[in-house]
Amino acid sequence: MIPVLLYPGFDPVMLHFGPFAIRWYALAYILGLVIGWRLMRRRAGLVLIRR
């Protein structure tokens, strides 16, 4: 049997801080939210300046 989809063999944990672990996908969510928030603040600022 030939496998069609191979499962990647990497560790999902990016950083360990004592008992806490930050996973790479959690960091991607946080980064996406921060970038989106900053872009919306900038865009809202541009709209207010035009008036």
Domain boundaries defined on the chain: 13-50
**Spans of the chain below 50 pLDDT:** none
Global confidence as pTM: 0.57
CB 22 within 8 A of CB 14: yes
From CA 37, how far away is CA 43, in angstroms rounded? Answer: 10
Amino acid 32: pLDDT: 95
